[in-house]
Structure formats: C-alpha cells, structure tokens
C-alpha cells in the first residue's frame, strides 16, 4: 500500500507559520498588567513632600540593599540594613517603634518588602522611598 500525496492547496500548520497574526487581546492584557504593577509599586511610595517633612523631623533613612551594593555608592544620610537582616537587626537600629523609617533599595522592590516587613514588626511609621535614584532626588546625597 502506497500513500498518495494530498492534492489541493498546501495549508501551513498555524504553529509553524512564520508570520503569525498578532494576538492583540493577549498583548493588551500583558500591557495592562504591566501598567497595574507599575501603579501599585508607585502607590506604595511616600510622596517627596512627605518624605522631606519626615526627614526634617528626624526620620531614619535605611538602605536595604546588600553591603556590596551599599559600599559601591550610597546616600550619606542612609544606614545599611540588608533586607535579609531586617528582622534581626532593625530592633537594635530603631529601638523606638514610633521612629519614622524611610526605606529604599536599587529599584524599590526590596524596599517595598522591607516596608511591609517592618510594619508587621510593629514599626507603623515606615515608608518606602522607592529606588535609589528616587531616594537620592528626595534626600539628596
């Protein structure tokens, strides 16, 4: 028994066609998710005006980057407390749980986590400055 080739127009399998049409609903959903993540990240950050006011009243600036990142450049007003050491070292650094704490890191992600962690430890006046660049603009160097 021999197989005969199919006659008629050749139809490319959709998964192998080199010029797939764009899947616009998927692209739009991904773009919307990116925007939501950015807005949520920004919404958790303290405003520059509030941060400067806190600084004038003795807020403590905490850089939660690694010691290596901190030594490669840091804000002069900041103390280094890497995120992984926060739970054990924050109580020694800030004995008063009413002390205003302003956290920052390289991108704002670790400082957001540090802010949540510190609040869970009872430091209710803890705020996220966000990224190093943003913190530098607010605090100055």
DSSP secondary structure string, 110-141? HHHHHHHHHHHTT-TTEEEEESHHHHHHHH--
Rounded average pLDDT over 59-80: 97
The pLDDT value recorded for residue 61 is: 98
Please give the domain boundaries of the chain with CATH numbers for all domains.
46-139 (3.40.250.10)
The pLDDT value recorded for residue 139 is: 93
Q: Tell me the pTM.
A: 0.71
pLDDT in tens, 80-137: 999 999 999 999 999 999 999 999 999 999 999 999 999 999 999 999 999 999 999 9
> To which residue do tokens 């966000």 refer?
130
The pLDDT value recorded for residue 14 is: 55
pLDDT higher for 8 or 98? 98
């Amino acid at each position: 028994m021999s197989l005969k080739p199919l006659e008629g127009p050749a139809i490319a399998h959709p998964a192998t066609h080199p010029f797939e049409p764009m899947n616009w609903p998927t692209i739009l959903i991904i773009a919307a998710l990116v925007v939501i993540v950015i807005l949520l990240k920004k919404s958790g950050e303290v405003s520059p005006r509030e941060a400067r006011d806190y600084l004038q009243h003795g807020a403590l600036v905490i850089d939660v980057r690694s010691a290596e990142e901190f030594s490669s450049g840091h804000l002069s007003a900041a103390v280094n407390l890497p995120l992984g050491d926060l739970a054990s070292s924050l109580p020694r650094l800030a004995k008063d749980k009413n002390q205003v704490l302003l956290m920052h890191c390289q991108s704002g992600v670790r400082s957001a986590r540090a802010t949540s962690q510190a609040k869970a430890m009872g430091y209710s006046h803890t705020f996220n400055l966000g990224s190093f660049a943003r913190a530098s603009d607010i605090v100055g160097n």
